[in-house]
A = this chain, B = another copy of it.
Amino acid sequence: MFKATVIVTLRRSILDPQGQAVHHALHNLGYAAVTQVRMGKVVELWIDTPTAQAAERIAREAAEKLLANPVMEDFHVTVTPLDVATPAG
């Protein structure tokens, strides 16, 4: 059993109004050292496969087909093994 973490972010060239809003709010809270903010989503997938490669392939395909918009978003996949003892949920 593996856990794949898929981080989906807007492509750098795409305007991120949500990130700008958070940036503005952080400045109001006094965090002037924050120079830029970009938002994205994270999808954690628990995948029951014999190898990490198989889990990564499934996570990549899921990201390409469903989780990330290929026109505007990039994604990054990391896979970590789970010892079977730990319950998934």
Q: How large is the interface on A (under 10, 10 to 19, 20 to 34, 35 or more residues)?
A: 35 or more
For the complex formed, measure the closest distance between the CB of A51 and the CB atoms of chain B, giving whole angstroms.
11
Tell me which of A9, A26, A88 has the highest count of chain B C-beta atoms within 10 A of its own C-beta.
Answer: A26
Whole-angstrom distance between the alpha carbons of A52 and B6 in the complex? 25
Interface status of A70 (Cβ within 8 A of chain B): no
Chain A residues numbered 28-83 whose CB sits less than 8 Å from any CB in chain B: 29, 31, 33-49, 54-55, 58, 61-62, 65-67
Which B residue sits closest to A4, measured CB to CB?
B34
Which A residues fall within an 8 A CB radius of B?
1, 5, 7-9, 12, 19, 22, 25-26, 29, 31, 33-49, 54-55, 58, 61-62, 65-67, 88-89
